[in-house]
Amino acid sequence: MGEAVLAGALAAGWPADRVVATTTSSDRGQARAEALRERYEVETTSDNAAAVKGASLVVLAVKPKDMAGLLEAISQGLADGVVVASIAAGLTAAWFEERLPAGTPVVRAMPNTPAQIGAGVTAIAPGAHATEEHLALVESALSGAGTVVRVAEKDIDAVTALSGSGPAYVFYVIDALTEAGVLLGLRRDVASTLATQTVLGSARLVAETGEHPVLLRERVTSPGGTTAAGLRALDDRGVRAAFLAAAQAAYDRARELR
């Protein structure tokens, strides 16, 4: 996810020669550093404390369990006026503020993996010391990865459950539709193309017409036709309730991560 944020910042016009990406010093981390240098022509290092010196924006993209150690390593070296943005699930702005020098502006961000192709959606929310100017800086870094929306921080766990985790639900649907096509005798590659383009086209239709999904669904559903039969099977199996339960479970899990 950190790489997607990096690619987005460069796409948004942040100059590569002013961006430093950090990795671990493990073999895997070093291989990743080499790949990042080749792909993006940015400086890389495994010295987080050195990387943050003089930075105006520090984006933290490690797993929640690794965040406390990372903050310990960088806190002393942060420049005055730096903005710290975190993309970690669960960890609140207050959690960061407790571990950073007093008054550090913190912005919480929740991107999603379509950011890799500039088609992500990211919600950002200010911590206690973050101003409009700080939010605008973070937004400018993330805007190359897709749409950016602003929310109150109390809503970030809900965002995590919906759009942060959401691509996985959609991939699950694409995979299930592909299997359904195979079950009905279609070749796997044909079924995969049909399932993928159906999800892509339907999402674009919602986004580009601005019409309500219920109305668009009704237009597909001819009286006494095939779609009505298919939708009844989804209702009979509680698929809508399953999506609500999935979002609730993801939300609850985000709150357990702190």
Ligand X SMILES: O=C(O)[C@@H]1CCC=N1
Binding site for ligand X (CB under 6 A): 89, 160, 164-165
Footprint of ligand NDP on 211-230 (CB under 6 A):
none
When CB distances are held under 5 to 8 angstroms depending on the partner's kind, the choice from ligand NDP, ligand X, none that residue 195 binds is: none
When CB distances are held under 5 to 8 angstroms depending on the partner's kind, the choice from ligand X, ligand NDP, none that residue 62 binds is: ligand NDP
| 63 is annotated as contributing to ligand binding | yes
DSSP assignment letter at 79: P
Selected range binding ligand NDP among 23-31, 94-102, 189-197, 223-231, rule: CB under 6 A: 23-31
CA atoms within 13 Å, Cβ hemisphere of 194: 13
> 244, 66, 61: which is closest to 158 by C-alpha?
244
Name the closest residue to ligand X (Cβ): 164
Phi, psi (deg, nearest 5) at residue 102: -50, 135
Which amino acid, residue 180?
A: A
Q: Is 44 in the site for ligand NDP (CB under 6 A)?
A: no
Host H or E run for residue 258 = none
**Least distance between ligand NDP and beta carbon 69 (Å):** 7
The number of residues in the chain equals 258
- Spatial separation of the C-alpha atoms in residues 32 and 121, rounded to whole Å: 25
Q: Is 125 in the site for ligand NDP (CB under 6 A)?
A: no
Q: By rule CB under 6 A, what count of residues binds ligand NDP?
A: 24
When CB distances are held under 5 to 8 angstroms depending on the partner's kind, the choice from ligand X, ligand NDP, none that residue 87 binds is: ligand NDP
Q: Which residue among 22, 104, 178, 192 contacts ligand NDP (CB under 6 A)?
A: 22
Could you tell me which residues come within 8 angstroms of residue 203 by beta carbon, excluding any fewer than 6 positions away? none
| 246 is annotated as contributing to ligand binding | no
Footprint of ligand NDP on 56-95 (CB under 6 A):
61-64, 66, 70, 87-89
- Spatial separation of the C-alpha atoms in residues 138 and 17, rounded to whole Å: 18
Sheet holding 83-86, edge to edge: 57-60, 83-86, 106-110, 120-126, 146-150
Cα distances (angstroms) measured from residue 166 to each of 160, 161, 171, 225, 239: 8, 7, 9, 30, 15
**Least distance between ligand NDP and beta carbon 236 (Å):** 32
| 92 is annotated as contributing to ligand binding | no
Looking at the Cβ atoms of 111 and 191, the one nearer to ligand NDP is 111
When CB distances are held under 5 to 8 angstroms depending on the partner's kind, the choice from ligand NDP, ligand X, none that residue 122 binds is: none
DSSP assignment letter at 238: T
Looking at the Cβ atoms of 47 and 66, the one nearer to ligand X is 66
> 220, 218, 215: which is closest to 198 by C-alpha?
220
Q: Is 23 in the site for ligand NDP (CB under 6 A)?
A: yes
Q: How does strand 57-60 pair with strand 43-45? A: unpaired
Binding site for ligand NDP (CB under 6 A): 1-2, 22-24, 26, 28-29, 32, 48, 61-64, 66, 70, 87-89, 110-113, 164
User: Residues comprising the binding site for NADPH?
Assistant: 48
